[in-house]
Amino acid sequence: MELQLESKREGNELTIKLNGEINTGTAPQLKELLETELTDAEVLTLDFENCDFVSSAGLRILLATYKTLKARKAQMKLINIGPNFSEVLNITGLDAVFGIKVNHK
């Protein structure tokens, strides 16, 4: 499955809605979008309502982005996380890093 990204900038906030899957093939699209659009945003919101598959290629980008933002005291929010992505975050301990409460069975 492919990935489609919709980004919206409002003031210092950048919101990206992900539609599809972040896998080894599609992860570079997210990386490129963040490289061009993140610029000086103070809040980045990633909306996973239509994306419940994230492989480690995606996790790497999320972690790198988190570190970039944290270093300049900006914030990264992940919203509407589905059960499969939440399991991946839980196993890797990234739920705690990103400050997400995951109810994982």
Partner 1 sequence: MKTIHVDSTTDNLSSVMGFINSELDELGCPERIRAQIKLAIDELFANICYYAYDSAPGPVTIAFESEPNPPAVIISLIDKGKPYNPLEADEPDVELSGEDRPIGGLGIFLVQNTMDDLNYEYKENQNVLTLKKYLLE
* Stretch touching partner 1 by CB under 8 A, among 3-11, 12-20, 35-43, 59-67: 59-67
Give the C-alpha separation, 81 to 53, whole Å: 10
Q: Which of 15, 19, 29, 56: binder of partner 1 (CB under 8 A)?
A: 56
CA distances from 52 to 30, 35, 41, 73 (A): 15, 23, 25, 28
The answer to whether 91 contacts partner 1 (rule: CB under 8 A) is yes
Contact 18, 30 (CB under 8 A): yes
Q: Is 12 in the site for partner 1 (CB under 8 A)?
A: no
Closest of 103, 10, 22 to residue 65, by C-alpha: 22
Cα 26 from Cα 3, distance rounded (Å): 6
Stretch that binds partner 1, among 6-14, 35-43, 49-57 (CB under 8 A): 49-57
Residue 104 contacts partner 1 per CB under 8 A? no
Which residues in this chain contact partner 1 in the complex, by CB under 8 A? Answer: 1, 23-25, 52-53, 55-57, 59-60, 63-64, 66-67, 70, 83-84, 87-88, 91-93, 97-98
